[in-house]
Amino acid sequence: MKLVIASNNKGKIREYKQLLEKHGYEVMSQAEAGLELEVEETGTTFAENSALKARAAYEKLGCAVLADDSGLAVDALNGEPGVYSARYGGIDDDKERCAYLLKNLEDVPDDKRGAHFVCTIHFIDTDGNEICVEGRVYGEISREPVGENGFGYDPVFIYKGRSFAEIPAEEKNAVSHRGDALRKLEEKLSER
């Protein structure tokens, strides 16, 4: 069954393909589906933003769609960057955004650098039924970027002693916020 991910983020698409194709879905980005869609993320929560994107894609395509909104919440920054993770500090580049985050945390002691990734998935089936789930993974923010894998804040997010950019994709998918949310989605789908 065709499943369009309402995103063109190459890192997200790669992870969704790895996680969903084994369940029989033909996973494609919105660009691969021929959909040009830029949804203004006006929501104040991850759930609101993922619903906005999924509903806009479903309205245009009429097939199964999945949208997510995800980001990093840092305890010492009162949950920032949160829903603004992708545009934190008005910066478009992942490495520069990580550097900006680290600069904002430079005076924060190691024992106060807790953080978590959040992923809210909004799935709309071909029949229009909607499911919303949220996944999380907890860790801490390093003092400098480490690793070559991953994307976004992965090089500065430490999970059990390693950054998400050091963990192989299969291992990361097993513990990540996106993997957690997808497992919850799979449970909901199997209940139907």
Residue 170 belongs to domain with CATH number: 3.90.950.10
Q: Which positions are annotated as active-site residues?
A: 69
pLDDT < 70 stretches in the chain = 192
pLDDT for residue 53: 95
Residue 74 and residue 166: Cα distance in Å, rounded?
20
**Structural domain count, the chain:** 1
Task: Tell me how far apart the alpha carbons of residues 36 and 112 are, in angstroms, rounded to a whole number.
Answer: 42
pLDDT score, position 46: 96
Which DSSP string do the residues of 139-155 spell out, in sequence order? EEE-SS---SSS-TTGG
The structure's pTM equals 0.88
pLDDT, position 91: 96
Domain residues for the domain of 155 are 2-191
Burial of 18 (0-12, 13-18, 19+ CB in 10 A): middle
